[in-house]
């Protein structure tokens, strides 16, 4: 039986991972199994927004690099 992560946990994983936090620490911080974090991060790569576009509450600013990703975040 597969159980779905709560929306707040999913958003937490996306935000913390996008900020550079290691997956093991994300699991400890959110109180979930690290395999759940691994699975969610893997799904992010296969569908939905890329980790560079994960919601962080910060707007992207600055010139785009050669891959089209904005260079800096504005607080």
pLDDT tens for the chain, 75 residues: list them. 467 889 999 999 999 999 999 999 999 999 999 999 999 999 987 765 555 555 555 554 555 555 555 555 444
| Cα dihedral 20, 5, 33, 55 in deg (nearest 10) | 0
What predicted TM-score, i.e. pTM, was given to this entire model?
A: 0.58
7-74 under CATH 1.10.10, yes or no = yes
CA separation for the pair 69, 71 (Å, rounded): 6
Per the CB < 8 A criterion, the answer to whether 24 and 31 are in contact is no
> Where do the structural domains in the chain lie, given as residue ranges?
7-74
Per the CB < 8 A criterion, the answer to whether 26 and 13 are in contact is yes
């Amino acid at each position: 039986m597969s159980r779905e992560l709560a929306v707040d946990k999913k958003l937490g994983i996306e935000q913390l991972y996008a900020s550079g936090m290691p997956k093991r620490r994300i699991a400890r911080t959110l109180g979930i199994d690290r395999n759940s974090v691994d699975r969610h991060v893997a799904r992010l790569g296969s569908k939905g927004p890329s980790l560079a576009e994960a919601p962080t509450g910060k707007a992207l600013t600055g010139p785009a690099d050669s891959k089209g990703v904005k260079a800096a975040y504005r607080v």
